[in-house]
Structure formats: C-alpha cells, structure tokens
C-alpha cells in the first residue's frame, strides 16, 4: 500500500536503515537517532496543520484514536515500528510523535558480541540461562536495548515449546512457530473496554504455556508475572525500566505494592527472590553504544530475616570510566562468583558451565 502525502513527508526517515528512532517535537523540531546518537534535522513541516495531518495518517490505519479527552496513544505500524503520539492539551507546542523503528539488522546474539554489547562468555551464559529455564528480567532505560536483547535471546528457546508472548504494544517477532501473541487493548473513547496486561497474564496460565514472555512490566501486573514465575512456568522473560539491578528490584516491589494487596514488604521481597533468578541490565552509553552493564543473580531475602531485604550477586560487569582527555573507556569482567543455580546450568552442559564463571 502506498504512503499517504502526510506520511511522505517523513518517508526518507522511515526508509533510512540507519535511523532507529524518529522524534518530532511539534512542527519545528525533528530529531533522529542514528548509531545511538541523536541528531536534529531540518523540519519537513511548514506549519502545525501539516503535522496534524501526519498524526491522522498514522493513527487512523491503526484502529486507535487520539483526542483531547485521551491525548496520547501507542500503536504499531505495519512494519512493526512502535509509535507514541501526544497531542494538546498536554502537548503544549504541537503534536509530539515518537517512532521506534523495527530493526532487522540484529538477527542473533553473535551480532551483540560483534558490536561489543557483551562478551562471548556472557553470550554463552545467556544461552545456558535460557536452556536451564531461568526466570530473567531485562532492565534498562528507554533505548538501552532491553527488548532487542530479549528478542535475540529468545531464539535459544527450543522450537517445540509453546510460548505465550504478551505485550502492551506488539513489537517482538519470535523465530519459533509455536507462539501465541497477545496484545493489550486500550479503553475506547468512552473509557471502557480496556484489556490490561494483568488480564492477559492471568488468562495465559490456562493456555498451557511452556514459556511466558512479557514485553514490558509497568505496574500492578507484576503480581501476575511473579505468580507465573513461581507456579511452574519456569523460563519466563520480562522487561522493565530501571537504571540498575537494585533499582529493578525496588521497582518490582513498588509495582506489587501498587496492587493494594495486604502483603508486608518482606513478603513481597520473598516472592520476588523466589521468582526472579537473573537480572540483565543494559545501558545506552555516551558514545551511542549499548552495553550489558550487569548480569546479576537474585539470591533472595538476606540473613536478616524479615528485615534483611533482597540480596544480589554480580556475575558479570561492565566497568566504565573516563580518562583525562574525556574519552570513555570500559571493559567487561567476570566476577568469578559461582551462582546458586550453577547445578541447573550444569545439568544442561557441565563442560560449558565450568567455563562460564572463570574470573577475568
């Protein structure tokens, strides 16, 4: 299907394989991300009317709506790119459009090793973690590569397993054939009819999943995700926004608390500790590169009992610094810590497991 005239205004950006994100801040300012670096471009819009026409051209085919009563919307384009649009009255300088491009340039974990996102040793750990059915949370800021890394790691899931993939806005494209894709439904103009992530998670328990993958956990649906992880659905994968592994655990605690259940904090921490095995932390660096900064084991509630809090142990780290000239340097390091789930990995491949935790 050909592009409408409003979309043609940004066709050169949509067709540029190096552009990973398009950010339009009203009719005067257009930015793109290339190679992890954000650049401002000359705006193709002469007035706000032209930008509003683009909003309509993007939203209408999606079947969604954006109005002054509901002035923001998320949806996906036919090519898989994610779109977020915000309009007045909350967007003060004109419509704001953010397009996260679907990229096909990264097709396997070896690509991340080639780009320096992680080491070969860390990639082998990721392979073994999937095979051993560890429950893994991918954490990082927006644009850090969380979803991309999850998608590439998911290729290690055996072909015969039934995967239920649940997303707020569909983005992931898994390679396996036995995949059930579920997408949340936002409320209609009257504010009713929403199908939230928590409902889809609860229903997925009845769908005989071998694996459950959650595109992004943002709120009280964390309760259902933790229930999945602790009720026999090992090998769950999930994404959340957080700056460090410790912050990721704190965010999970707050998400569970937001459900309003009569649970003490230590009880929530204990459930998280029993559910989550590993946190893979990603970051977007100043030079535009992306790095796995931590692979961290979640040990559980500490020896302090109910007041002990959650304990973690870093297995791999990216140690980063800046020299006197202002240049950024860093290197990966395996801490040599032998995780408590070592035997689960060894049952998959004992010889490879021995090599995973050699310090250096």
- DSSP of 27-72: TTEEEEEETTEEEEE--S-SSHHHHHHHHHHHHHHHT----SSS-E
Residue 307 confidence (pLDDT): 56
Residues 22, 99 contacting (CB under 8 angstroms): yes
The 10s digit of each residue's pLDDT in 77-132 is 988 889 999 999 999 999 999 999 876 666 789 999 999 999 999 999 999 999 99
Rounded Cα distance between 136 and 9, Å, is 41
- DSSP helix/strand/coil, 266: helix
Rounded Cα distance between 73 and 148, Å, is 22
Q: Which whole-number Å values give the CA distances from 71 to 18, 94, 236, in the listed order?
A: 30, 12, 34
Residue 326 confidence (pLDDT): 64
Query: Could you tell me which of 349, 298, 90, 167 has the C-alpha nearest to residue 150?
Result: 167
Residue 191 confidence (pLDDT): 75
**Sequential pLDDT tens for the chain (360 residues):** 568 999 999 999 999 989 999 999 999 999 999 988 999 999 999 999 999 999 999 999 988 889 998 899 999 898 888 999 999 999 999 999 999 987 666 678 999 999 999 999 999 999 999 999 999 999 999 999 999 999 999 999 999 999 999 999 888 989 999 999 999 998 877 778 899 999 999 999 999 999 999 999 999 999 999 999 998 899 999 999 999 999 999 999 999 999 998 889 999 999 999 999 999 999 999 888 999 999 999 999 876 555 568 999 999 999 987 777 666 679 999 999 999 999 999 999 999 999 999 998
Helix, strand, coil content of the chain in percent (nearest 5): 30, 25, 40
CATH 3.40.50.300, the chain: domain bounds: 109-356
Residue 322 confidence (pLDDT): 74
Query: Could you tell me which of 22, 17, 20 has the C-alpha nearest to residue 7?
Result: 22
Alpha-helical (H) ranges within 80-132 are 109-115, 120-131
Residues 167, 182 contacting (CB under 8 angstroms): yes
Rounded Cα distance between 184 and 169, Å, is 7
Residue 277 confidence (pLDDT): 98
Residue 320 confidence (pLDDT): 86
Residues 106, 327 contacting (CB under 8 angstroms): no
Rounded Cα distance between 54 and 5, Å, is 8
Rounded Cα distance between 66 and 56, Å, is 9
**Residue 351 host element (H or E):** helix 350-356
- DSSP helix/strand/coil, 76: strand
- What is 109-356's CATH number, 2.60.120.10, 3.55.50.30, 3.40.190.10, 3.40.50.300? 3.40.50.300
Supply the pTM of this predicted model. Answer: 0.86
**Residue 227 host element (H or E):** helix 222-229
- CB atoms under 10 Å from CB of 281, counted, come to 27
Angle at 76 between CA 221 and CA 126, to 5 degrees: 60
Residue 30 confidence (pLDDT): 98
CATH 3.30.450.90, the chain: domain bounds: 5-100
- What is 5-100's CATH number, 3.40.50.150, 3.30.450.90, 3.40.50.720, 1.25.40.10? 3.30.450.90
Residue 56 CB contacts under 8 Å (≥ 6 apart), including other chains: 6
Residue 35 confidence (pLDDT): 84
Question: Mean pLDDT score of the chain, rounded to an integer?
Answer: 93
Residues 126, 270 contacting (CB under 8 angstroms): no
Looking at the chain, the whole-number percentage of residues with pLDDT higher than 70 is 96
Alpha carbons within 13 A on the beta-carbon side of 319: 9
């Amino acid at each position: 299907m050909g592009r409408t005239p409003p979309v043609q205004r940004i066709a050169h950006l949509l067709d540029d394989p190096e552009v990973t994100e398009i950010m339009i801040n009203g009719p005067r300012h257009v930015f793109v991300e290339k190679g992890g670096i954000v650049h401002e471009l000359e705006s193709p819009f002469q007035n706000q009317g032209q930008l509003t026409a683009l909003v309509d051209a993007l939203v209408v085919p999606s079947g969604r709506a954006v109005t002054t009563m509901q002035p923001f919307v998320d949806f996906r384009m036919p090519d898989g790119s994610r779109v977020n649009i915000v309009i007045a009255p909350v967007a003060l300088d004109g419509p704001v459009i953010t397009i996260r491009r679907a990229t096909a340039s990264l097709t396997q974990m070896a690509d991340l090793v080639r780009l320096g996102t992680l080491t070969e040793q860390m990639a082998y750990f990721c392979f073994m973690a999937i095979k051993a059915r560890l429950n893994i949370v991918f954490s990082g800021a927006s644009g850090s590569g969380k979803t991309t890394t999850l998608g590439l790691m998911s290729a290690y899931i055996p072909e015969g397993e039934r995967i239920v993939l649940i997303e707020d806005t569909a983005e992931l494209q898994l390679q396996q054939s036995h995949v059930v894709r579920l997408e949340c439904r936002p409320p209609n103009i009257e504010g009713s009819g929403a199908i939230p992530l928590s409902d889809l998670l609860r229903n997925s328990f009845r769908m005989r999943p071998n694996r459950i993958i959650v595109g992004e956990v943002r709120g009280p649906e964390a309760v259902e995700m933790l229930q999945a992880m602790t009720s026999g659905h090992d090998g769950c994968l999930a994404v959340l926004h957080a700056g460090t592994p410790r912050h990721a655990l704190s965010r999970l605690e707050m998400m569970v608390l937001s459900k309003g259940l009569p649970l003490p904090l230590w009880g929530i921490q204990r459930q998280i500790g029993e559910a989550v095995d590993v946190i893979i932390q990603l970051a977007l660096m100043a030079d535009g590169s992306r790095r796995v900064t931590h692979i961290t084991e979640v040990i559980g509630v500490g020896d302090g009992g109910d007041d002990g809090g959650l304990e973690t142990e870093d297995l791999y780290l990216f140690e980063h610094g800046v020299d006197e000239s202002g240049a950024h340097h860093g290197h990966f390091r395996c801490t040599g810590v032998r995780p408590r789930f070592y035997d689960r990995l060894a049952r998959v491949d004992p010889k490879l497991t021995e090599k995973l935790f050699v310090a250096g």
